[in-house]
């Protein structure tokens, strides 16, 4: 009882804390009852509070479904504040579309207000493996703005497909093969033709190939996603887009990386030669090209070397 009382006091204090430290978010209407929050396309900073990715929500007659909880308690609280400007419906579910920090480290706030948190099953191991590291990095970047943030895991999982039916809405949760992270999944709204892609789609800025990424699985997941033929995509990063833009900025770039590195390995090139012989200049228009292109090439080579 003493333990529970301690945490009740802790969370109550956080709840009463003002929004002085919270980034301000505005809900962007995407379709009827469907909204997105478009995060900063830059890197994580003190100013953006780690909110350098997109999230969103769906309003139904029986409650709200949030897609990705943000990178921190205070950002999640700000997401909720923005939702309450649109609807009085309570948040019933939160879907984490992957194991990257900005997809799930805000879970603690939403669990506190009573929402059920859902993710693809492969996301759990990734969250458990990298959660403490992600939180440590977040605290170094946003400092006191990370107050209250803890790794809080989803309590419900799906393997390949789950359909949420809530208040007349049909919400498809789909896991293909992962990609940017092992547990990447998408949220598909067939009634509206809208897809929340999570980190399977980057537009406007260069995607990042991480040590946990699989470019092979990423392309396979993209191919499955294409079969849905979405009219609009809320990408993990960048502005709401169409499928053609997603193909150009994500699929075509991944295909370039893998195509070149396959040729390099077939020809026996070492890592440095493979990187320097790769022409990525067609994607120079993407933000963070200079910062990320070299590391993306290196990690793709190392990945394919073991395939």
Q: What is the 3-state secondary structure (H, E, C) of 151-204?
A: CCCCCEEECCEEEEEECCEEEEEEECCCCCCCCCEEEEECCCCEEEEEEEEECC
Q: What is the mean pLDDT of each run of 10 residues along the chain (307 residues)?
A: 38 40 87 97 94 98 98 97 98 98 98 98 98 97 96 98 97 98 98 98 98 98 98 98 98 98 98 98 98 98 97
Domain boundaries, the chain: 10-243
- Is 0.85 surpassed by the pTM of this model? yes
- Which class in CATH covers the domain with range 10-243? alpha beta
pLDDT at site 23? 84
Burial class (CB in 10 A: 0-12, 13-18, 19+), 61: exposed
Burial of 26 (0-12, 13-18, 19+ CB in 10 A): exposed
Dihedrals phi, psi of 169, to nearest 5 degrees: -100, 145
Structure tokens at 81: 């504040």
Gap between the Cα atoms of 64 and 174, Å rounded: 19
Token look-up 């150009």 returns: 248
E-state strands within the chain: 28-31, 34-37, 55-60, 63-67, 91-96, 116-120, 156-158, 161-166, 169-175, 185-189, 194-202, 232-237
pLDDT at 79: 98
Q: Distance (Å, rounded) from C-alpha 115 to C-alpha 111?
A: 5
Instruction: Report the C-alpha gap between 141 and 130 in whole angstroms.
Output: 17
pLDDT value for 22? 63
Give me the pLDDT at residue 40, please.
94
């Amino acid at each position: 009882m003493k333990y529970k009382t301690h945490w009740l006091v802790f969370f109550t204090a956080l709840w009463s804390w003002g929004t002085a430290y919270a980034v301000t978010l505005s809900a962007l209407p995407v379709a009827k009852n469907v909204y997105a929050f478009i995060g900063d396309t830059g890197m994580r900073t003190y100013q953006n509070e780690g909110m350098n990715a997109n999230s969103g929500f769906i309003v139904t007659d029986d409650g709200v479904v949030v897609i990705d909880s943000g990178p921190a308690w205070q950002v999640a609280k700000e997401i909720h504040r923005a939702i309450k400007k649109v609807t009085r419906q309570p948040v019933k579910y939160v879907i984490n579309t992957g194991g990257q920090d900005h997809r799930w480290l805000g879970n603690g706030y939403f669990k506190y207000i009573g929402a059920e948190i859902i993710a693809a099953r492969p996301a759990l191991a990734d969250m458990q493996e990298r959660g403490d590291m992600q939180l440590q990095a977040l605290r170094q970047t946003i400092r006191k703005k990370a107050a209250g943030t803890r790794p809080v895991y989803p309590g419900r999982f799906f393997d390949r497909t789950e359909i949420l039916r809530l208040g007349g809405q049909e919400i498809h949760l789909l896991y293909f093969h992962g990609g940017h992270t092992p547990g990447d999944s998408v949220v598909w709204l067939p009634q509206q033709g809208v897809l929340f892609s999570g980190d399977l789609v980057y537009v406007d800025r260069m995607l990042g190939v991480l040590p946990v990424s699989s470019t092979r699985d990423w392309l396979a997941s993209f191919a499955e996603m294409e079969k849905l033929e979405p009219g609009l995509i809320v990408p993990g990063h960048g502005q709401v887009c169409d499928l053609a833009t997603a193909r150009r900025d994500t699929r075509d770039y991944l295909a370039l990386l893998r195509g070149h590195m396959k040729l390099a390995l077939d020809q026996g090139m070492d890592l440095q030669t493979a990187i320097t012989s790769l022409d990525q200049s067609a994607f120079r228009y993407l933000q963070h090209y200079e910062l990320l292109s070299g590391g993306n090439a290196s990690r793709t080579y190392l990945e394919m070397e073991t395939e």
